[in-house]
Structure 1
Amino acid sequence: MAKLVINDSKELGRIEPEIYGHFSEHLGRCIYEGLFVGENSDIPNVNGMRQDVVNALKEIQIPVLRWPGGCFADEYHWKDGIGEKSKRKKMINTHWGGVVEDNSFGTHEFFELCKQLGCKTYINGNLGSGTVQEMSEWVEYMTFDGVSPMAELREKNGHKKPWKVDYFGVGNENWGCGGNMTPEFYANMYRRYQTYVRDYDSKKPIKKVCCGANVDDYYWTKGVMETCYDHTPEHLHGFMDFISLHYYVHPEGWEIKGSATDFTEEVWYKTLKKALFMDTLIKRHSDIIDQYDPEKKIGLSVDEWGTWFTCEPGTNPGFLYQQNTVRDALVVGITLNIFNKHCDRVKMACIAQMVNVLQAVILTEGEKMIKTPTYHVFHMYRHHQGATLLDSELSGVNEVGEGEWKVPDITESVSKKDGIITITLNNLSATEKRDLEILFATDKNYEVVEANIVTNKDMHAYNTFENPEVVKEEEFNLYEIDKNKMTVSLPACSVVEIRVK
């Protein structure tokens, strides 16, 4: 039997709520149809935001939302998306599907959405094809409270008071779609552009996100950190608050990717093995960042992550619409446990993407909406937001799978908030249940206050608009507790949450 020892008197750090962030790009049906339907839609909405989706997202306590991209960010010119909607410029979305972008969702609409969600704002600026002046004026438009051309323009467009920009990304994927730059060239551009991302209100500083690496490009991380660190103050804090990392799970590789719903047991394990690679990426990139920032003042922002499969048959391949199975639930459970355990460096993350794109938490079809298995895991894990990571040690774990795709059959993380300990567990086995003994180091009586599970006997199971609750969060009762000891039986391919006090 596997054993988990929890030392609830040893606190390891704060799990920032922003680790549970989300990403919305002008891509496919994420913004349009997914989040925004317009004020004149028959679908119930408030100021154009569809209320079924907004209400569902509020239930998982969205902490931060990243927008407008993604690759779209480095071809986005913000002035095209303000003012009277009928007069806004139309453009072809050359990155995603070749469809017309009418800019009816712009800066004002984004802040309205975040207001309705009650979340922080993460704006990604255009460094790839935009100017320093354009980026500087956007920040002024959004945040300056005084007499200036951009503040006057904002008031003319119906919003007198400035908004709060919590995070600002200076470019996106500038090693690729954001300009195919070298790390040294980008870093010097970052130094220049970030200078003009000004804090007009010192009480509401904007935290700046530097473009980090794609997957295991450690050369990029080293080059950017070294160039940014040169001739800067002793610490980069304020000059660079975050550096990003992007990593997608492609079980069959970048070119093939593989089906979201039709896969073998071997591919199940291959997918989970690649999800576990996130741990290695965080460790190795952190080792490089530590050379320049040993005090860990710079946060790692994994602001694009998740599964990326072949799009669903019959859909626009540029829309990246994919279904979401129990396998996706395990990927998100594994990944969030990893983020929790690296909360000393990982301070923000944004799953890609929020609605109708890649590993979405919600899918829509006209007026219909369904919650995916990924959604239900986020709902369970919301209790980790703002909690304190506890010391935990897992032993007696078996390996499952074959050859190079073997994985541990259990992963976990444990946190404490408001006197309640939240334990999240994953059984990675596609076929076998797993028994686990949990021992609390503190000798006292514990009781379970809540326990839930996301699973299905069929690893291919997913929700449809006809059958929206095939995979859902359900009450979990396969445990026994006696004082400071608990035994748990984890069903195959399951994500479990147990909360005790």
Structure 2
Amino acid sequence: MSIASAARVVIDLDVPGPTISRHLYGHFAEHLGRCIYGGFYVGEDSELPHEGGIRLDVVEALRALQIPNLRWPGGCFADEYHWQDGIGPKADRPSMINTHWGNVEENNHFGTHEFMALCELLGADPYVNGNVGSGTVQEMSEWVEYLTRDGDSPMVRRRKANGRDEPWKVPFWGIGNEAWGCGGNMRAEAYADLARRYATFCRDHGDNKLYRIAAGAADDDLAWTEALMKAISCLGCGRDPKNIFQAVSFHYYTVAGTWENKGSATDFDLADYYRTIIKAQDIERVIRGHSAVMDAYDPERKVGLVLDEWGTWWDVEPGTNPGFLFQQNAMRDALVASLHFDVFHRHAERLVMANIAQTVNVLQAMLLTDDDDGLVRTPTYHVFEMNKGHHDAVSVPVHVVEQPAPYELDGERMELVSASASVKDGRALISISNLDPVASLDVVLDLRGAEIREPSGRLLTASKPQAYNTVGEPGAVAPVRLRVEPEPRGLRVTLPPHSFATVSSAI
């Protein structure tokens, strides 16, 4: 470890900003690898504790995160999923081939009713992603009716025959997925017209109001976002863009290498680490770009921006199915999550939802399970748990006014300090990351505008950025108490290399 660096972070506790929607801490569960089958769902014959086949230790662990929403059934899978194959008696449900992810056969035992039961167990709002790529407008319209309509209708009668009398509340609805790629290889303008059509027939039934989300861009494809905004706005004609769809999405993965050679989740050197953090920090530029395009067509910000797939993407673990996207989750991944959340908090006026990919056993997962009773909380899980006090809190300005010089690699700069803060229910919560992999950081938290009382801190770090948790060593990366000292300007903390911390205080 090298000599400690110093930083000063000014936090204006009395200057309220936009509310940080809890939905920025959303999750994603696709029929991919062992996310659904073997992750969330173990079947009704399993010896593991379950409710209707839903694995209860997974539910318990996720309830501790207070997860706000869950996106399902995809992803790319959504555009080959036909919902009517996943309802009714399980013995009568036809099987299908998951052509996107491993060409494995699925029995459709986890379908609409099982997903809605999972959301109820989690206390999470359902985010259902409809099939535009290989489906029909009628199919999607009838799915909305089946889920959300009360009274009497053909789909209501069918739902009741399958054991559910009352309609569900479904607030979030996706109009396809990655229409520029696996969702149909469409041009932006062609998809924009389809999105208008599909969204029109996704009706609001009774008091269920759908928040319709158009499938948006990859990374910084601003032209795609502009095509969607043009499709719902006419710059002064008086049309309310919220009448068609209420949000546009985009996807952004932290891929430090190339798509053909992404690199290992755990076997990496310092240069790989720096490249990863630089790529993760670039999410701020991308969000600013999409926001600027949207502002031109929607200056009142009535249309939301949704990042419904984000996270690290590494090569799969050796010996696992390449189509299952199973990767380990190290301290480096936790820091990618922590700095993403700082960016999300800063852009909470336009960014209304984000969904990490994915919740269990796939990509940057919260939980890893085995076929027996093993359950591992990943380093990323702990970032979500430590940050849950930001849910629906009011963001406040944070200024890193003194910090170590940025690291430079191949002409790109990597900031070594990331921070954000919020206020809710008479408490302030400050999140701060020391992204330097080799040097500790002495931080003065210059707190202005409120008196602080009884501060406390938590720290997430590890012996090295490559550290991760296993069934045999579940606490290799886990939160510990952080010493918080008074300082004339506010508080002082010392952060080890590659660490994430939260400081909470009554105000």
Task: Please give the range of the TM-score, normalised by the shorter of the 2 chains.
Answer: over 0.9
Q: Does the 8 Å contact 1:67/1:124 carry over to 2?
A: yes
Indicate yes or no: 2:294 matched with 1:285: no
Give the counterpart letter for 1:214 in structure 2.
Answer: A
Q: Provide the C-alpha distance between the structure 2 equivalents of 1:402 and 1:19, rounded to a whole number of angstroms.
A: 30
Aligned 8 A contact 1:123 1:169 in 2: yes
> Which of the residues 241, 259, 262 maps onto 2:264?
259
Corresponding residue for 2:496? 491
Tell me if structure 2 keeps the 8 A contact 1:251–1:270. yes
Q: 1:233 to 1:311 in 2, by over 3 A?
A: farther
Identify the match of residue 482 of structure 2 among 468, 476, 479: 476
CA offset at residue 482 of structure 1? Answer: 4.1
Q: Which amino acid aligns with 2:203?
A: R
Q: Which residue of 2 aligns with 1:239?
A: 244
Identity %: 46
Q: Which runs of 5 or more residues in structure 1 are unaligned?
A: none
Are the aligned partners of 2:233 and 2:298 in contact in 1 as well (CA < 8 Å)?
no
Partner of 2:299: 294
**C-alpha distance in structure 1 between counterparts of 2:185 and 2:228, whole Å:** 14
Distance 1:236 1:227 in 2: 9
Quote the residue 2:425 is aligned against.
Answer: 418
Q: Once the two structures are superposed, what CA deviation does each residue of 1:217-264 show, in whole Å capped at 9, x if it has no partner?
A: 111111221123259852212422111010101111211111011001
Mapping of residues 89-488 of structure 1, within 5 Å: 89-201=94-206, 203-230=207-234, 234-366=239-371, 367-398=373-404, 399-442=406-449, 444=451, 446-477=452-483, 479-482=484-487, 485-488=490-493
Distance 2:430 2:274 in 1: 23
**Which residue matches 2:3?**
none
Separation of aligned partners in 2, 1:89 and 1:228: 38
2: CA distance, partners of 1:253 / 1:228: 35
1:68 and 2:109 are equivalent in the alignment: no
Residue-by-residue CA offset, 1:370-411 (whole Å, 9 max, x unaligned)? 000000010001110010001121112221353434311100
Q: Indicate conservation of the 8 Å contact 2:307/2:354, yes or no.
A: yes
CA contact (8 A) 1:208 1:238 kept: no
Provide the aligned C-alpha RMSD in A. Answer: 1.3
Pick closer, same or farther for the CA change 1:284–1:465 going to 2, 3 Å: same
CA distance 1:7–1:176, change in 2 (3 Å):
same
**Partner Cα separation in structure 1 for residue 439 and residue 48 of structure 2:** 44
Q: Is the 8 A contact 1:249 1:274 kept in 2?
A: yes
Kindly provide the amino acid, as one letter, of the partner of residue 194 in structure 2.
M
2:18 counterpart residue number? 13
CA contact (8 A) 2:148 2:208 kept: no
Distance 1:6 1:144 in 2: 47
AA aligned to 1:129 is S
Q: Is residue 269–residue 405 contact of structure 1 (8 Å, CA) maintained in 2?
A: no
Give the letter for the 1:428 counterpart.
Answer: L
Give the counterpart letter for 1:174 in structure 2: A
Secondary structure of the residue aligned to 1:155 is: helix
Amino acid at match of 1:252: G
Pairwise CA distance, 1:29 = 0.1
Provide the TM-score with structure 1 as the length reference: 0.97
Q: Which shows bigger deviation, 230-239 or 127-136?
A: 230-239
Segments of structure 2 that go 5 or more residues without pairing to the other structure are: 1-5
Closer, same or farther in 2 for the Cα pair 1:490/1:383, shift >3 Å? same
Question: In the TM superposition, what is the alpha-carbon distance from 1:167 to its structure 2 partner?
Answer: 0.3
Does the CA-based 8 Å contact 1:327-1:459 persist in structure 2?
Answer: yes
In 2, Cα distance between equivalents of 1:223 and 1:166? 25
Give 1:204 shift: 2.5
Rate the CA distance shift 1:419–1:238 in 2: closer, same or farther, 3 A.
farther
8 Å contact from structure 1 (residues 269, 406) kept in 2: no
On the 8 A contact 2:35/2:362 being kept in 1, the answer is yes
Q: Using the alignment, how far apart are the partners of 2:488 and 2:61 within structure 1? A: 37
Residues 88/230 of structure 1: CA separation in 2 closer, same or farther (3 Å cut): farther
1:18/1:349 contact within 8 Å kept: yes
> CA separation in 1, counterparts of 2:282 and 2:197?
34
AA aligned to 1:7 is: D
Higher mean alpha-carbon deviation, 431-440 vs 302-311, is at 431-440
Q: Deviations over 1:287-320 (max 9, x none)?
A: 0001111111111110000000000000000000
Q: Retained in 2: the 8 A contact 1:251–1:274?
A: yes
Secondary structure, counterpart of 1:350 in structure 2: strand
Secondary structure at the aligned position of 1:162 is classed as coil
Letter in 1 for 2:429: T
d(CA) in 2 for partners of 1:9 and 1:169? Answer: 37
Q: Post-superposition shift, 1:39?
A: 1.6
In the TM superposition, structure 1's runs of 4+ consecutive aligned residues that sit over 6 Å from their partners are: none
Q: Distance in 1 between matches of 2:53 and 2:411?
A: 49
Q: Residue 402 of structure 2 aligns to which amino acid in structure 1?
A: G
